[in-house]
Structure 1
Amino acid sequence: MELLTAIYLFPFLYIAFLISKREIKKRDQHCYMLHYECFKPPEDRRLSTEKCASVVLRNKRLGIEEFRYLLKTIVSSGIGESTYGPKNVIEGREENPTLSDALGEMDEIIFATLDKLFDKSGFAPSEIDILVVNVSLLATIPSLTARVVNRYKMRPDVKVYNITGMGCSASIIAIDLIHHLFKVHKNMNAIVVSSESMGTNWYTGKDRSFMLSNCLFRAGGCSMLFTNNRHLKHRALIKLSCLLRTHLGANEEAYKCCYQKEDDDGFPGFCLTRHLPKAAAQAFTENLKVLVPRILPLRELIRYLIVSKTWTKGDLEKVGRGLNFKTGIQHFCIHPGGRAVIDGTGKGLQLDDYDLEPARMALHRWGNTSAAGFWYVLGYMEAKKRLKKGDKILMISFGAGFKCNNCLWEVMTDMKDRNVWDDSIDNYPIKKIVNPFIERYSWINDERLSFIKLN
């Protein structure tokens, strides 16, 4: 009798064993973020209105029309007077940058954030198994990852990946890479470093499509520590729930809407065309078609199918129209790429001022720091003590190519640590963002501009 019972029970016990084994394997594949450190440049790099004006007026190629365009763009950009510029630009050497300038800029950002990351997390460089560095506009030999390995004397078996050319959404691409590596390697610790090489890519011509990048992009960076070791789960800040990448590179118009090239006069720069909003809307639409069923509750999906007929493709402000994203998400971490991107995304997802406040304030305080921008937004949420255990955070990014990379995080603990916002968080939110450029420099006309250039 006991033998028969054992025979009958064996299949069920075996199935239970397989299910248990699968669940254990899934737990090993989780991606936890343990710590992150954003970069705060020295105060002598701060781009006040006067410093910005001096940088603009140094460009002898600008006429009064270009000057007025810059004036209008800076005023409407959503960027304040506390952002930071690269050292060589602040010192007036943007016309002839050197490789030393580029490496010095990267070393300062990368090593400052990593030093703090190791110090505050308690991890040693020798405990890191995977290292990913993403800087889109700088590729050196040896690579930037090799510079990190050399500086911290990391183990010879550390897995290193150097990502270039991926633009503002590269941070999520790096995390996606780590997440896939975590699926095949147990108990791994990984670091992602996100920044951008601004100083040696400062545009010095007069084409308006290129000048826009000078108005938006600023110096910054972030280092993050991840693990799939479930025994470290209690130390995690957030856990990755899902991640989705969309690429419209096959579409010629989308491919060329953000493009690094030379202008008609031979000056290199980063061109942002009028097709960018349309490309962003198309990429966002395709991404949400797959992402939404994974992040919103079934009742909201059913309601949407009943009241709506189709997705809107042509306008960023209408992409998610009809869906109530707040049924499954508490916080929206929108890349602070510019005021138009933040506002357009907010309208499409039907978000209010409270939801958009972190991205708007990060743009005002730090500017567009490219792939590092998310983490300044997350830092704002943490500094304001918004992030509670169990909350969901949707990160939304756009990047050259054209790409839309989004992911959902779950908050693992009440987040309230001190961070890079410490000395300025009490000044935010700013109810009305006023840029003083028009007030201080609108008096400049052709004659005065010529006089300034001559002197």
Structure 2
Amino acid sequence: MVETKTPTQPSEWPPKYPRLIAIGTETPSAKYTQAEVLKIFGIEQPKISRIFSNSHIKSRHLCLPQFSLDSTISQESQADLLEKHKQVALDIGQSAIKKALEKADLNPQDIDYISVVSTTGFLCPSLSAFYIKAMGMRSDIYRIDIVGMGCNAGLNGLQPVINFCALHPESIGLLLCVEVCSAMYVIDDTLNAAVVNSLFGDGAAAAIVSTRSFPGLSTGSKFLGFSSHIISQAIDSIRLDFQETKYSLYLDKEIPYLLGQNVKIPVDKLLRKFERKRRDVQHWVIHSGGRKVIDSIKYSLNITEHDVRHTVNVLQNYGNLSSASFLFSYERLLQERITQPGDSILMMTMGPGSTIECCLGEF
């Protein structure tokens, strides 16, 4: 007879809802307007220039290769792009983590679980191992890397952090979303490359999660639950193609309408689970996927421009930061200091699959 072990339950059962404790964000120092990017890329075609000027983006932080004022940017090899992803991700990722830890008065050795999300490069060993070594985290830390899931992956990476913290009371979980979108750029005169190169920016966002109390710290919401909706018939609408020794990101022009048509499904399903309606949500944190995407979701859910103010602000000043976008918006909400106990917050990310992810929280 084989002896089986019963898993040990936490001291408190059911466990407490984990809460967002602090957020830290970082970008590369170099910042460019859309007009500057057009000049650096040597783009003169009016049709492509209009894509940049109509993007509703004022500026982005990007890691571009060296260029002179009288010449345009040179193409980078796939090896160069992968190395750029690694080095920039380690730089801005560590900075974002340090900022979040400092707000919570924690140090790297306090982290029990780390989830690292990135789609803009591939490494083996993965990024989490490099952060653990570089920042002196404990050797017994639990870790996971979410790779290749795209712009929606921030909420996918948040789920295991929350689950771990719920099952291990007082533990400290860390989510890091780090995207070097300039490591995915293909510089040519195609319309698809123009859309990608006009939209995405580089950035990292770290979030501390725990059930532990942090007296005197204005924390974020507790996390109640998640919902997901995969539009399988649109699996090719957002994808990576491998062309001419490089990865090339493809974005279907129908994406905004596709997301708008389907967004009610996961939103309403999640709200019903907790006996709430859309009108009960005081705060919306939505991925900055592009102005058309934001508008399509806004109209479908019948929410206001004020509801998406942080989403729009992040898009205007940083571009689409892929998985990190929603945490940049969440940080801006916390900086307003307008949330009240009992307020509901709905976080939403969208990406390849095609996928819509939602998370409901409560302050």
TM-score range for the pair, normalised by the shorter chain length? 0.7 to 0.9
Q: Match for 2:355: what amino acid? A: K
What TM-score, normalized to structure 1? 0.71
Q: In structure 1, how many angstroms separate the alpha carbons of the residues matched to 2:10 and 2:98?
A: 38
Secondary structure (helix, strand or coil) at the match of 2:308 reads: helix
Q: Match for 1:393: what amino acid? A: I
Question: Which digits, 9 at most, give the CA deviation of each residue in 1:125-156, with x for residues without a partner?
Answer: 11111011101122212210001110122212
Q: In structure 1, how many angstroms separate the alpha carbons of the residues matched to 2:258 and 2:11?
A: 40
Contact kept, 8 Å, 2:255 with 2:293, in 1: the verdict is: no
Q: Report the CA distance shift for 1:389/1:89 in structure 2 as closer, same or farther (over 3 A).
A: farther
Contact kept, 8 Å, 1:204 with 1:267, in 2: the verdict is: no
**Corresponding position of 1:149:** 132
**Corresponding position of 2:32:** 47
Question: Which digits, 9 at most, give the CA deviation of each residue in 1:10-57, with x for residues without a partner?
Answer: xxxxxxxxxxx999412x341111111111431xx1112442122231
The equivalent position to 1:345 in structure 2, one of 270, 277, 297, is: 297
Q: In structure 2, how many angstroms separate the alpha carbons of the residues matched to 1:22 and 1:40?
A: 38
Within 5 A, what are the aligned runs for 1:152-231?
152-229=135-212, 231=213
What TM-score, normalized to structure 2? 0.87
- Rg bigger for which structure? 1
Q: Report the CA distance shift for 1:24/1:292 in structure 2 as closer, same or farther (over 3 A).
A: same
Q: Report the CA distance shift for 1:140/1:90 in structure 2 as closer, same or farther (over 3 A).
A: farther
- Residue 19 of structure 2 is aligned to residue 32 of structure 1: yes
Within 5 A, what are the aligned runs for 1:373-392?
373-392=325-344
**Corresponding position of 1:70:** 48
**Corresponding position of 1:310:** none
- The size of the alignment, in residue pairs, is 348
Q: In structure 1, how many angstroms separate the alpha carbons of the residues matched to 2:348 and 2:211?
A: 23
Q: Quote how far apart the aligned CAs of 1:278 are.
A: 4.5
Q: In structure 1, how many angstroms separate the alpha carbons of the residues matched to 2:157 and 2:325?
A: 14
Q: In structure 1, how many angstroms separate the alpha carbons of the residues matched to 2:275 and 2:318?
A: 31
Q: Report the CA distance shift for 1:23/1:266 in structure 2 as closer, same or farther (over 3 A).
A: closer
Q: Report the CA distance shift for 1:208/1:94 in structure 2 as closer, same or farther (over 3 A).
A: same
Q: Match for 2:48: what amino acid? A: L
Q: Match for 2:328: what amino acid? A: Y
**Corresponding position of 2:322:** 370
**Corresponding position of 1:258:** 238
Secondary structure (helix, strand or coil) at the match of 2:340 reads: coil
Contact kept, 8 Å, 1:329 with 1:394, in 2: the verdict is: yes
Larger CA deviation: 146-155 vs 202-211: 202-211
Q: In structure 2, how many angstroms separate the alpha carbons of the residues matched to 1:49 and 1:223?
A: 27
Q: Report the CA distance shift for 1:89/1:340 in structure 2 as closer, same or farther (over 3 A).
A: farther
Q: Match for 2:32: what amino acid? A: L
- Residue 60 of structure 2 is aligned to residue 83 of structure 1: yes
Higher strand share: 2
Q: Quote how far apart the aligned CAs of 1:102 are.
A: 2.0
Q: Match for 2:49: what amino acid? A: L
Q: Report the CA distance shift for 1:98/1:387 in structure 2 as closer, same or farther (over 3 A).
A: same
Percent identity among equivalent residues? 19
Contact kept, 8 Å, 1:94 with 1:202, in 2: the verdict is: no
Question: Which digits, 9 at most, give the CA deviation of each residue in 1:284-332, with x for residues without a partner?
Answer: 24313521313554xx6xxxxxxxxxxxxxxxxxxxxxxxx22x11111
Contact kept, 8 Å, 2:239 with 2:249, in 1: the verdict is: yes
Unaligned runs of 5+ in 1: 1-20, 301-324, 412-455
**Corresponding position of 2:247:** 268
Question: Which digits, 9 at most, give the CA deviation of each residue in 1:241-267, with x for residues without a partner?
Answer: 221122234x2xx1100010035x665
Q: In structure 2, how many angstroms separate the alpha carbons of the residues matched to 1:285 and 1:124?
A: 40
The equivalent position to 2:271 in structure 1, one of 282, 286, 292, is: 292
**Corresponding position of 2:114:** 131
Within 5 A, what are the aligned runs for 1:440-451?
none
Q: Match for 1:294: what amino acid? A: K
Q: In structure 2, how many angstroms separate the alpha carbons of the residues matched to 1:79 and 1:248?
A: 28
Contact kept, 8 Å, 1:88 with 1:199, in 2: the verdict is: no
Unaligned runs of 5+ in 2: 1-8
Contact kept, 8 Å, 2:116 with 2:177, in 1: the verdict is: yes
**Corresponding position of 1:312:** none
Computed over aligned residues only, the root mean square deviation of the Cα atoms, in angstroms, reads 2.5
Q: In structure 2, how many angstroms separate the alpha carbons of the residues matched to 1:89 and 1:409?
A: 43
